Amino acid sequence: MIDFTRAQMTHFTIHSVGNKGLGEEMINSEKLIEFKDDFVKETVLRYFLAPFKTDIYHRFKGKVDVSLASVANVCEDLFTSQKDFVKQAGKIAKHLYDQSLHPKIKGGEFYVCYFKDAMLDGELCDAVGLFKTENKEIFLKVFQHLNEFDIDCENGININKLDKGCLVFNTEKKTGYKLSIIDTNNRIAECALYWEEDFLNATIKPNGYYYTKNFMDASRGFCEEILTEDNNVKREDQMMMLNKSASYFKERDKFDIKNFEKEVLVQPEVIEAFADYRKDFNKRLDLTAIDEFDVSQTAVKKNQKYMRSVVKLDKNFHIYIHSKHEYVERGFDEEKGLKYYKLFYVNEEQ
């Protein structure tokens, strides 16, 4: 859990980082920013920190040669001393600028902050904050002059929509520190990894979220690739397995492979087939098999939409089947020459 209730922002710089590939400029702060009042400061802090509510953590893949620019190197220096904060923040901004080469990467404001006494999973530590604004919105402003009114437009930042952010916590240094990353503007495939990999050189940190996501991905893959009609498995049985897998994670805080085999897979031949599939799945993705871990409900919610039992019939109908697979029958109408599904139910909800 991330808690900045008692944290203090001690250093703050703003930079303009354009698209280097398009020849846009980069302008660095020459001094620390000071807020004109507490309201502005609190608004900025809310904009930066409110989105960080997840249990998904990352880590730096590793330090690079100290002669080269990297976020990991600079953060380590900042945790040691903030004496040259403006200069060090400029190094990070320059590194971000050097990664901004694809023509679809948007330029914007880049902010570097230093926080004292942040709380992370019960541990008190400092943190470096890196944030980028890429999208602007038009806001209306209404002015009152006695009994008369006027209205105007301004281009500004929506404080409820942080485009990109990263909190680097001064903990677990030996394994690449602990990072929390936000990237809500990564829908363009060519730019999807620009913030997380090209700039931060980060990878997801093995924890409950990591293990839960990987196992749910393996379960879904097993159902979609192995439990198929080509392997003499009925569509209804495939959907039932998907539902049972999803329900298993929704109802538990701890995962145990033996218990999963007993309650979800059940049949010895299915257990054996899943074990073979999971071994191959982990090998393909270079994952380590973990048979016991804490279940992350964040991962469950994110993956639940992919584990839905949906029957897509041509382009006409979608049937969502959540449970009670015994109430579903499938057949073939010889007179019409078409397949059909028959559904049994008690009440129709309005």
Task: Say yes or no: 317 and 169 in one domain.
Answer: no
- Number of domains the chain is built from: 2
Between CA 150 and CA 148 the distance in angstroms is 7
Assess whether 230 and 263 both reside in one domain.
yes
- Residues 113-133: b if buried by 16+ CB within 10 A, e if exposed: bbbeebbbeeeebbbbbbbbb
DSSP letter for each residue of 255-269: EEHHHHIIIII-SHH
Show which of 155, 184, 205 is a domain's final residue.
205
Could you list the residue range(s) of the whole structural domain that residue 270 is in?
A: 209-343
Q: Taking the C-alpha atoms of 243, 249, 251 and 253 in order, what is their torsion angle to the nearest 10 degrees?
A: 180
Q: What is the pLDDT of residue 318?
A: 66
Is residue 348 assigned to a domain?
Answer: no
CA–CA dist 308, 285 (Å, integer): 23
- State how far the Cα of 295 lies from the Cα of 188, in Å rounded to an integer: 31
**DSSP conformational letter for 295:** P
Q: Does 177 share its domain with 226? A: no
C-alpha to C-alpha distance for 160 and 27, rounded to whole angstroms: 25
Of 274, 271, 216, 206, whose CA–CA distance to 248 is shortest?
216
DSSP string over 190-239? GGTTIIIIIIT-EEEPPSHHHHHHHHHHHHHHHHHHTSSGGGT--HHHHH
Domain contains 200: yes
pTM surpassing 0.85?
no
> Encoding tokens for residue 155?
């281009």
Is residue 9 included in any domain, yes or no?
yes
Whether 154 and 188 share a structural domain: yes
Report the pLDDT value the prediction gives residue 56, as an integer from 0 to 100: 86
* Two tokens, residue 73: 């190197």
Mean pLDDT of the chain: 87
243 shares a domain with 178:
no
Q: 155 and 253, same structural domain?
A: no
Q: Which residues in the chain show pLDDT less than 70? A: 63-69, 305-313, 316, 318-328, 330, 350
Residue 349 within any structural domain of the chain? no
Residue 348 CB coordination number (10 Å): 5
pLDDT of residue 68: 57
84 & 219 share domain: no
* pLDDT score of 238: 80
**Final residue of a structural domain among 176, 205, 234:** 205
Cα–Cα dist 13/252, whole Å? 44
| One domain for residues 298 and 157 | no
| CA contacts within 13 A on the Cβ side of 188 | 10
Does some domain include residue 131? yes
Cβ-proximal residues to 85 (8 Å cutoff; 6+ apart), any chain: 11, 13, 32, 78, 112, 114
- Looking at residue 145, what is its pLDDT? 86
Tell me, yes or no, whether 104 and 201 share the same domain: yes
Is position 261 within any domain?
yes
- pLDDT for the residue 311: 60
Both structure tokens of 323: 């449970």
- Indicate if 35 and 176 belong to the same structural domain: yes
Domain end point (choices 163, 186, 205) = 205
28 plus 151 within the same structural domain: yes
pLDDT digits (tens, 9 = 90+) for 293-332: 999 888 888 777 655 555 666 776 766 665 555 666 767 7
Task: State residue 1's pLDDT score.
Answer: 82
Write down the pLDDT at residue 247.
Answer: 85
Residue 350 in any domain: the answer is no
154 plus 11 within the same structural domain: yes
